[in-house]
Amino acid sequence: MTNKEIVDEIYRLKKEKNAVILAHNYELPEIQDIADFVGDSLGLSQQAAKVDADVIVFCGVHFMAETASIISPNKKVLIPDLNAGCSLADSMTADELRKWKSANPNAVVVSYVNTTAEVKAETDYCCTSSNAVKIVESIPQDKQILFGPDKFLGRYVKSMTGRDIKIWDGACHVHEKIGEIDFDKKMEEFPNSDFLVHPECGCSTSCMLKSEVFDCNIKIYSTEGMIEHVKNSDNNEFVIATEVGILHRLKKLRPDGKFVPMSENSVCEYMKMITLEKVLDALKYEQFVVKVPEELAKKARIPIERMLEII
Ligand code: 13P
Ligand code: SF4
CA neighbor of 196 nearest in space, from 221, 233, 172, 174? 221
Domain residue spans of the chain: 3-85+271-292, 89-170, 178-261
- Give dist(CA 176, CA 254) in Å, integer: 28
State the pTM of this model: 0.95
Q: Whose CA is nearest to atom 4 of ligand 1?
A: 40
CATH class held by domain 89-170? alpha beta
Domain spanning 178-261: which superfamily?
Answer: NadA-like (3.40.50.10800)
Nearest to 215 by CA among 238, 187, 242: 187
Please give the CATH number for the structural domain made up of 3-85+271-292.
3.40.50.10800
Contacting residues for 125 by C-beta, under 8 A, at least 6 apart: 108, 109, 110, 111, 135, 138, 139, 303, 306, 307, 310
Is there a cis peptide before residue 238, judged by omega within 30 degrees of 0?
no
User: pLDDT tens per residue, the chain (311 residues)?
Assistant: 999 999 999 999 999 999 999 999 999 999 999 999 999 988 998 899 899 999 999 999 999 999 999 999 999 999 999 999 999 999 999 999 999 999 999 999 999 999 999 999 999 999 998 899 999 999 999 999 999 999 999 999 998 899 999 999 999 999 999 988 888 899 899 999 999 999 999 998 888 777 766 666 898 899 999 999 999 999 999 999 999 999 999 999 999 999 999 999 999 999 999 999 999 999 999 999 999 999 999 999 999 999 999 98
- The CA angle 206-211-194, to the nearest 5 degrees, is 110
Q: How far is the CA of 15 from the centre of ligand 2 (A)?
A: 30
Say how many Å lie between the CA of residue 263 and the centre of ligand 2: 15
Mutate to test the pocket of ligand 2, among 151, 271, 272, 274 (most ligand atoms within 8 A of CB): 271
Pocket of ligand 1 (CB under 6 A): 25, 40-41, 114, 128-129, 172, 175, 200, 222-223
